[in-house]
Structure 1
Amino acid sequence: MTAPMELAGGKILAGVEDGVGRVVFNQPEKRNAMSVDMWAGMGEALDRFAEDGAVRCVVLQGAGDKAFVSGADISQFEKNRADADAQREYDRLTSAGRAKLAAFRKPVVAQIRGFCMGGGLGIAMSADIRVASDDSQFGIPAAKLGIAYGFDMVRALVDLVGPAHAHMILMTGDRFPAAEAERIGLVNRVVPAAELEGAVAKLAATMAANAPLSLSTNKLTVKAVLRDREDRDMATLRDAMAACFNSADYREGRRAFMEKRRPVFNGA
């Protein structure tokens, strides 16, 4: 990987290797809990990856082997989330990073090891694909803190696991293991911890070799399917699909298929 950029005072690391951008949540002494400045740092990393044509997909991961992201940095709660007014300001300060992740056009994979809790699970759910180690733990402990999560995060949870499992997760606040997360559809795949890095690298390499316009259009369409009908921008979807069929990459894909070789896509 290229020498990583240090953002948010070094608590976010970002680098690129072989078409794959990586964002590392780098606060292992706090199990990679997300501080306010880390949200801004993640957003800055995503902005750079969005503009870099060499980046075909992005992997999110936590530093070390104890946590992906264990949630929000509770040490900041008294200052930033002490009451409803403070929570609204916290949402304002962190909303840009959340929005950039939600709107990111390229594929995003969450590489999960260890604790993936609360807001950390929210980050993972904003990824397109989640691959977890078999020693990972998941949960949303809102009920044990006396707080509630916002509509977007709860909707994402319900979209993935359905209302019955969402109720169980939210109402108990309990942790549950990776095998259970896979069973209910919260994660795509669980692998032995020693194989996690390689499994995600292989997955990311596969996506990085595929046609970028196809990936971004299919991602856009999946997101539209999950929206209410009146919120779907069908004109944008039609334009994106037409761009795929008119692209040099589509011509390259057809030629490569006929010539029995691997295609080389350039995103145009």
Structure 2
Amino acid sequence: MASGLEFARDGAVATLTFARPEKKNAITHDMWAAIPDVVGEVEGDPALKVLVLTGAGADFSAGADISEFGSLRSTADGAAAYDKVVEGAVTALAGMTKPTVAKIRGNCIGGGCQISVACDFRFADPGARFGITPAKLGIVYDFRSTHQLVSLIGPAHARYFLLSGQLIDATRAREIGLVNDVSDDLDTTVEQFTATLCSRSQASIRGMNRIIGKILDGRSETDDEVEAIRLAAIHGEDYAEGVAAFLDRRPPRFTAS
């Protein structure tokens, strides 16, 4: 595990923590580069159902560690190589079929906000604040992350974020759809929501998450993979259990991992 990241398991929930609180959890090159391996570990572990991303201390993340830019992004080739590593992390998170939840306190800015947008869900403390600031650095935001942002909050709000570089508070983030909810008891809210996700059919969750990902990537019609996902669900253990539980008027007891 890269320095500045902490990974923990609690039952079916994994947590990846940005752990540089003295630097507002600024994300180093090595931290970006380690994220795809964490994603692979969670996706490949049948005991894990959800990945939570959060920050140690007062902040989620204030963004990429700009102190590295002088050495790693001082040339066009260096900047392209750095951006490829960042895009790899974002692509890995966005491509997960197991759900991802960003638990956000304090600063969620720049690369930190980029990471949160790549997650499936975002829950924030009332004191959180959000912004994406490439216009303050002379950087043009990459296509994939721009597409994710536009898909999430629409072009008007995306333009406000990217072109102005201004920050917004958690209430405004909730209003524009950047976060799912704002909670005074963030830990409990996220714990209850992840428990809900863990109680649902994992075949349904992962199948639907894959289909949503394909839609976001531009597919407008079904394909062989989508039909195979749906056919497998119909013949799966979870479908039989879900129907039986509904008819018996009891909560389902899904067992498929």
User: What TM-score results when the alignment is normalised by the length of structure 1?
Assistant: 0.91
**Which segment is superposed worse, 49-58 or 97-106?**
97-106
Runs of 4+ aligned residues of structure 1 deviating over 4 Å after TM superposition are: none
1:105 offset after TM fit, Å?
1.1
Aligned to 1:120: 112
Whether the 8 Å contact between 1:105 and 1:219 is mirrored in structure 2 is yes
Aligned with 1:14: secondary structure? strand
The structure 1 residue matched to 2:66, chosen from 71, 74, 77, is 74
Q: Distance in 2 between matches of 1:32 and 1:233?
A: 41
Q: Where in structure 2 are the equivalents of 1:227-246 lying within 5 Å?
A: 227-229=217-219, 234-246=223-235
Whether the 8 Å contact between 2:130 and 2:168 is mirrored in structure 1 is yes
Aligned with 2:38: secondary structure? helix
Does the C-alpha gap of structure 1 residues 114 and 173 become closer, same or farther in structure 2, counting only changes over 3 Å? same
**Which segment is superposed worse, 94-103 or 160-169?**
94-103
Q: Distance in 2 between matches of 1:77 and 1:182?
A: 32
Whether the 8 Å contact between 1:36 and 1:93 is mirrored in structure 2 is yes
Does the C-alpha gap of structure 1 residues 219 and 44 become closer, same or farther in structure 2, counting only changes over 3 Å? same
| Structure 2: unaligned runs, 5 residues or longer | none
Q: Distance in 1 between matches of 2:87 and 2:119?
A: 16
Q: Distance in 1 between matches of 2:218 and 2:41?
A: 31
Q: Distance in 1 between matches of 2:256 and 2:65?
A: 38
| Structure 1: unaligned runs, 5 residues or longer | 1-6
Deviations 1:190-232 (Å, cap 9, x if unpaired)?
112xx001000000000011111100111112222223237x7
Aligned to 1:8: 2
1:233 offset after TM fit, Å?
6.7
1:258 offset after TM fit, Å?
2.2
Aligned to 1:3: none
Aligned with 1:229: secondary structure? coil
The structure 2 residue matched to 1:47, chosen from 40, 47, 61, is 40
The structure 2 residue matched to 1:203, chosen from 165, 169, 193, is 193
* Amino acid in the other structure paired with 2:39: L
The structure 2 residue matched to 1:20, chosen from 5, 13, 22, is 13
Q: Distance in 2 between matches of 1:239 and 1:32?
A: 41
Aligned with 2:34: secondary structure? helix
Deviations 1:214-263 (Å, cap 9, x if unpaired)?
00111112222223237x77211111111111101111112222222222
1:144 offset after TM fit, Å?
1.3
Matched, 1:62 2:52: no
User: What TM-score results when the alignment is normalised by the length of structure 2?
Assistant: 0.95
* Amino acid in the other structure paired with 2:243: R
1:165 offset after TM fit, Å?
1.1
